[in-house]
Structure 1
Amino acid sequence: MPRTVAVGLDGSHESLAAVEWAAHEAELWGIPLRIVHAGEQQPHDYVPFAGHPVPLPGADRSARLLTETKARLAHRHAGVRVSAEQIAGHQVPVILAVAREAELLVLGSRGLGRMAGVLLGSVALAVVARAERPVVLVRADEERGQERRTRAGDGFGDTMPYRDAVLGLDLRAPDGRVLEFAFEAASRRATGLRVVHGGELAAHARQRAADVLRPWQDKYPGVEVTEEAVIGDAGAHLVDASRDASLVVVGRRAREGSIGPHIGPVTHTVLQHAVVAVAVVPHH
């Protein structure tokens, strides 16, 4: 199976934002984009791509959605090879199967809100809790330009460098997959990496962080790393850091809880409240 960035599409504003984010990410990775409409549910209403032929009224809405989305991407991301398909079946199992075949899965998210949780959760939350590959959730109101730095008074954010990527580092159990994803993300964007970690014992935490990060800094010498030792709610600190970030990277320990898979309190807080895309990287 060729390496791809995969993205779920249902015609909602959230999924359209995710498709745009995924197409740009596929450009950064230099690999194809796979768009999937999962399940048998008809897609949400969406805005057609003007100027391109579309099926006659009454034609299958899913096929029309996929056709028009491909046309939109051909116009905006000409360098990306795009495939699009509809896969029947229940959404969560279908998307999880797609994720297993991809380097990265991208899904749209409204933000889960204070009352959302595993028992109430959306398709995106269910997938994040079970996926074997990294999953990025993109908010409906996120614009790609938010990832860029801007000059005061100008409106040309897309011409400016990326904001730093942010990594939530668990010093108790650091995992190479999470670290590698974060360093790769910063390297592809030619930007820095801001590492946020716990610091109840400041001197010990700084030394521990230096030991954990050193091999990755040697591997990615072009990535400038800054560290921030925080006390208290790590999730809240990562949410604060997201306001000046291009991407937030957090880990998820792949283990079963008493009521099934879960994502952990820090990751849950970040998914609820971060203002940019969040990458959740599973690890053991």
Structure 2
Amino acid sequence: MSREIVAGVDGSPESLAAAGWAAREAGRRRLPLRLVHAWRGDPLDLPLRQDRASQERMADDVLRKAESALAERHPTLPLTAEVVPDTPVAALLSTEERAEMVVIGSRGHGAVAGFLLGSYGQQIISAAHRPVVAVRSRDGEDGGEDGKDRGEVGKHRGGHPDGGGVIVVGQLGGAEDSAPALRFAFETAAARGASVRAVRAWSLPPLYAYSPTSSALALADEAGGLVPYEKKALREALTPWRERFPEVGVDEHVEIGSAGQVLLGVSGDAGLLVVGRRARRGAIGPRIGSVAHAALHLAPCPVAVVPHE
């Protein structure tokens, strides 16, 4: 089954920015774009009698306006649009079988009742088995092909329009753990003609864990110390992706500190920040993880959250 990029549309500025970002990414990757608007038509808890036909027309109108605007801006892009009779979460997750990625809008940093505070976005990211990209209105908005209408907030907080800037990706754990995020970062960089900045954050082992026979410390000693060990781990994780994408330039960054802080600290010029998320369910259900949480709140650019086992 051929892949496609899926974008959720609800008529908000954030969702229109997400659709615009998705259209540009679909063009770069030579993939079709599908717009999805979820509408169940459930009666609202209002004392007024509702006209279901009017609600259906409104739902269709939201989708068709977005479709028309994108078709005009991207006339050669294969584009489809559909109203899905379900909740936003279920509607977008139902597209995963054919989705290369799912793109959603986010209110981002500073929203009191926004994207990460019990909303649909958090549920989609935490449950998805495909990469989910969160786009704010300043990350491309509804207007410019080159993201020129990002607004004053975007200009002052750093980052690049989505066609420019380095692709920053976090490399955590072993090579297998980070492979999905690295693959996504390299594929995106190759499609854009951009470079990758691979970041590995590390911390000192707790004193109580020290032992001459500790496997981690023994490996670090063999590598010549903790810093060389961390650099070696990053280099080994990058090796297969460098070989697969020789045209993509790579900058390796190893720094002591929390993963979220280190990633955010080197993302000021990023066009996209890519982070991983464990797909396993916890005792209280699926979670997005602390690193993804920090990135989604504070990154100055779109954020891709890539699940891994």
Secondary structure of the 2:62 match is helix
Gaps spanning 5+ residues in structure 2: where? 43-53, 141-145, 149-159, 204-225
Match of 2:105 among 108, 114, 120: 108
1:59 CA drift (Å): 7.5
User: Which shows bigger deviation, 94-103 or 117-126?
Assistant: 117-126
Aligned AA (1:75): E
Where do residues 27-66 of structure 1 align in structure 2 (5 Å cutoff)? Answer: 27-40=27-40, 60-66=57-63
1:227 CA drift (Å): 1.0
Q: Is the 8 A contact 2:106 2:115 kept in 1?
A: no
The TM-score with structure 2 as length reference comes to: 0.77
Give yes or no for the alignment of 1:212 onto 2:237: yes
Secondary structure of the 2:94 match is helix
- Equivalent residues, number: 259
Structure with greater proportional helix content: 2
**Which string of whole-angstrom CA distances, capped at 9 and with x for unpartnered residues, describes residues 13-53 of structure 1?**
110000000000110110111000013369xxxxxxxxxxx
Match of 2:179 among 172, 176, 180: 176
- The whole-number CA distance in structure 2 between the counterparts of 1:68 and 1:221 is 41
Where do residues 1-284 of structure 1 align in structure 2 (5 Å cutoff)? Answer: 1-40=1-40, 60-111=57-108, 113=110, 120-143=117-140, 144-145=146-147, 162-172=164-174, 174-200=177-203, 201-284=226-309
Gaps spanning 5+ residues in structure 1: where? 43-56, 147-156
Secondary structure of the 2:275 match is strand
Cα RMSD (Å): 2.6
Q: Is the 8 A contact 1:4 1:103 kept in 2?
A: yes
1:145 CA drift (Å): 3.3
Identity of aligned residues (%): 41
Q: Is the 8 A contact 1:199 1:231 kept in 2?
A: yes
- The whole-number CA distance in structure 2 between the counterparts of 1:126 and 1:257 is 14
- The whole-number CA distance in structure 2 between the counterparts of 1:273 and 1:114 is 11
- The whole-number CA distance in structure 1 between the counterparts of 2:29 and 2:139 is 21
The TM-score with structure 1 as length reference comes to: 0.84
Aligned AA (2:192): R
Q: Is the 8 A contact 1:35 1:85 kept in 2?
A: yes
- The whole-number CA distance in structure 2 between the counterparts of 1:77 and 1:64 is 20
1:74 CA drift (Å): 1.6
Aligned AA (1:217): R
Secondary structure of the 1:242 match is coil
